[in-house]
Structure 1
Amino acid sequence: MKYRYLSDCHTHSDCSPDASDPTMMLCECACRLGLYALTITDHCECNVYREEEYDRSVRQSYFEARKASAVFHGRLHVRAGIELGQPMQNIEAAEDILDACDFDFTLASVHNVQGMPDFYELDYSQVDLTKTLHQYFDEILETIEWGKFDSLAHLTYPWRYIVGEHGLAIDDVQLSGRIDEVLTALIKNGKALEVNTSGLRQKLGETMPNLQIVKRYYELGGKLVTLGSDAHRWPDVGAGMEEGMKLIRQAGFTHFALYSHHEPKLLPIE
């Protein structure tokens, strides 16, 4: 590995319903790659918290991460995290699971706006795209104001499907004001911006968000950035991390954040 402190802070074990490999396997892979740290951030989709038994699977994820931390002590820094999806759609569920486990790191994300399916399931011939994206940014802003998280995951998640999978155009200029609102809110509330590298191995072909947005975050005064592969299987652990480090350096950053007990430790990009 080119970088000394390469850390993957967004990964999913088989405690997530859409992932396939156990935490121990992810950690072993990270060790073989020479990663400095790995954070397990299994899904908790708050809008279907009880229905899909996330109250049970997330607790199991936390237990597995803590067990792995002990097993890999001295070889890999293993952190216990969570990806809170749609916390504003069920705040009670979000706060219930955060109170139940002593996580190191909480990612917040929005995979679908209130009353609509996930962006990957949307029939884009039947939706007002501009209206839907404004609703998405509204929910992101509500989440930031709520504030019970550390880093905002894959800000441009809808682009993965709208642009990458369906080849539709998004007017980035028209939405630049909304993106600035989000970036400014993150800075004001002391929250990190995630650079999610999964887009590099998908049709989108770029990180989420891309260099332009990460650079804008830095220009506005952003200081906290995290990196994550969003791996859902062991071969993707650490994928795109070197490219991500290069990108955040291009954006102006000299350090990135690794969280422990919700406290960011700034590690140099070296």
Structure 2
Amino acid sequence: MGMLSDYHLHSDFSADSQEKPENQILQGIKLGLKHMCFTDHVDYDYPLDEIFEFDMEEYFNTLNALKEKYKDQIEVHIGVELGLQPHLQERYDRLLSSYPFDFVIGSSHVVKGFDPYYGEYYEGRTEYEAYHEYFEYVLENIMAFDNFDVYGHIDYVVRYGPNKNADYSYEKYSDIIDRILQKLIEKGKGIELNTAGFKYGLGHPNPTEKIIEKYRELGGKIITIGSDGHKTEHLGYDFEKVPNILKTSGFNYYNVFKNRKIETILLDS
């Protein structure tokens, strides 16, 4: 694995995780990570009973104490994963201006009142139509928001579709995916190499290798690495595959963020 950095991970501050932050840090040290960044979920106006919000003061107090405790063993950073919806722009801007985040992931978890995690999102239409609508909504969110650093798991929807990624490819949706990538590049935003796709049995990261290659081909320069881990056993998941994917896609480096400032780490450093 080398000294790769996990810049997408969750703890029990996220509604969908029960893992203590300290357990994640100890696992990161065990794996030999150089950096790790907590990106717990904030999804305002989430449509179901789960509340993807938490006490931000407690979050910073807890993580800052752990950051100090383990400072000689690993660099711990404090981020957030925002579930974007166009009408939430001002509310998220207020949140981000109120706390000193190191890193912000923008993600699409809810599309017109539905989370593609649940089957009802796909009812009454083809899988292609559902997936294409998801990508159109990603683009709508990118058009509406500027205050994020990278876009998370751009093809999140394929984790949960009726056939997952059996009938999915970059080429099949290249019309809308290229527009997404071009808009991210125009805004100076990055993407992530999210290894949870391997955990979900897709055989590929999110987004797929082809999308990462296309982002680079179009002029994209910013890429972070994340496991999307919600348990300690998911931290650094399949990171041994990451260097080859990056190099094949045209990257000889990856990025980390501190105080919303980008840093570049060479793969062989």
The TM-score normalised by the length of structure 2 is: 0.91
Paired residue secondary structure (1:108): strand
Letter in 1 for 2:238: G
1:172 CA displacement: 4.0
Paired residue secondary structure (2:124): coil
Which deviations, in whole Å up to 9, do the C-alpha atoms of 1:92-121 show, x marking residues without a partner?
Answer: 332232122110000010012122x21120
2:188 paired residue number: 190
1:186 CA displacement: 1.1
Give unpaired runs (5+ residues) of structure 2: none
2:65 paired residue number: 67
**Which aligned segments of 4 or more residues in structure 1 are displaced greater than 6 angstroms?**
none
**Match of residue 14, structure 2, among 9, 13, 16:** 16
Matched length:
265
Give unpaired runs (5+ residues) of structure 1: none
Q: Distance in 2 between matches of 1:9 and 1:250?
A: 21
* 1:69–1:78 contact (8 Å) kept in structure 2: yes
- Kindly, what percent of the aligned residue pairs are identical? 29
Letter in 2 for 1:149: F
Q: Distance in 2 between matches of 1:208 and 1:22?
A: 25
1:180 paired residue number: 178
2:31 paired residue number: 33
Which deviations, in whole Å up to 9, do the C-alpha atoms of 1:56-90 show, x marking residues without a partner?
Answer: 34443333222221111121011100000124242
Paired residue secondary structure (1:75): coil
**Match of residue 132, structure 2, among 129, 134, 138:** 134
What is the CA RMSD across the aligned residues, in angstroms?
2.1
1:236 paired residue number: 234
**Match of residue 120, structure 1, among 117, 134, 141:** 117
Give runs of aligned pairs for residues 25-104 of structure 1, distance below 5 A: 25-48=23-46, 54-104=52-102
Cα gap change, 1:207 to 1:97, in 2 (>3 Å)? same
1:214 paired residue number: 212
Which deviations, in whole Å up to 9, do the C-alpha atoms of 1:204-253 show, x marking residues without a partner?
Answer: 22100111111111111111101100000111111122212321111110
Paired residue secondary structure (1:20): coil
Paired residue secondary structure (1:243): helix
Letter in 1 for 2:247: R
Q: Distance in 1 between matches of 2:52 and 2:58?
A: 10
